Amino acid sequence: QVQLVESGGGLVQPGGSLRLSCAASGRIFSINTMGWYRQAPGKERELVATISRGGRANYPDSVKGRFTIFRDNAKSTVNLQMNSLKPEDTAVYYCNADVRTSPSSPWRAYWGQGTQVTVSS
């Protein structure tokens, strides 16, 4: 019903920058909070950033000041600008969105397939 597609992952040197993009498509009535999560080998999935429909962002201390999340409600997209990247940022990054597919549907979390980000010299 709803598809989230990420792009922008890749290999970058420590201290470098990378921008991730996510586009939502399909049967969408409304999108509430959107966000990015990541999972590194041997670790559980963790929150990277969330942003409300009104543009209010939330970041954990691990990325605060380095990452910026922003969205375009008209295009149903959310982006993550990552600066001053560190090797510990290496992970698979997943896009998330809380979506209502019809006026009678409950809010449901949808996920993208993930995109690999590798920070290495």
Q: In a 3-state reduction of DSSP, which class is residue 76? A: coil
The pLDDT of residue 4: 98
Average pLDDT along the chain: 97
The pLDDT of residue 26: 97
Side chain identity at 19, as an amino acid letter?
R
Q: Quick one: pLDDT band at residue 5, thresholds 50, 70, 90?
A: very high
User: Tens digits of per-residue pLDDT, 30-53?
Assistant: 999 999 999 999 999 999 999 999
The DSSP code sequence of 15-73 is T--EEEEEEEEES-SEEEEEEEEEE-TTS--EEEEEE-TT--EE--TTTTTTEEEEEET
The pLDDT of residue 112: 98
| Mean pLDDT of the 22-35 span | 97
Q: Quick one: pLDDT band at residue 64, thresholds 50, 70, 90?
A: very high
Q: In a 3-state reduction of DSSP, which class is residue 87? A: helix
The pLDDT of residue 79: 98
The pLDDT of residue 9: 97
